[in-house]
Amino acid sequence: SSIFARLVQPLRFQSSSSSSSSSSSKSSGAVWMNNSAVSHCFECNSQFSLFNRKHHCRSCGRIFCGKCSSHRALVEGNEQRVCEHCFSMSTNSMRAASSSLHDSSIPSAEGQNAE
């Protein structure tokens, strides 16, 4: 029965997507790709099957295999499944923000802020 529940879940999402309380994907602003329109992973092009399942990236909404969407990143304040590209973008933006904060808030040896 758990396999049946997993197969039915995407149908529930699609049928309720017009409501404002449908899914966390809508909170990020990403429009999810339609499950039925995709038969291969967006990244590695592997064909989806019973064993190679489809996963939506919660950041961009595209569909990937489990291998290509194995990362987790903050999306709208919650840690969620994301694709490699969105994970890389998230990691890079966090590094840049951290570096910028670090550089401007720590005084240098001369007593001035580092630039």
User: What pLDDT, on the 0 to 100 scale, is given for residue 15?
Assistant: 37
Band (pLDDT 50/70/90 cuts) for residue 72 is: very high
* Both structure tokens of 44: 């590695």
- Domain ranges in the chain? 24-105
According to CATH, what is the number of the domain 24-105?
A: 3.30.40.10
Nearest in space to 34 (alpha carbons), one of 52, 50, 13 = 13
On the question of pLDDT at 9 being above 50, the answer is no
Question: What is the SS3 assignment for 110?
Answer: coil
- Distance CA(58)–CA(55), nearest Å, equals 9
pTM of the model: 0.59
Segments in the chain forming alpha helices (H): 2-16, 24-27, 84-105
* Contact assessment for residue 41 and residue 48, using Cβ atoms and an 8 Å cutoff: yes
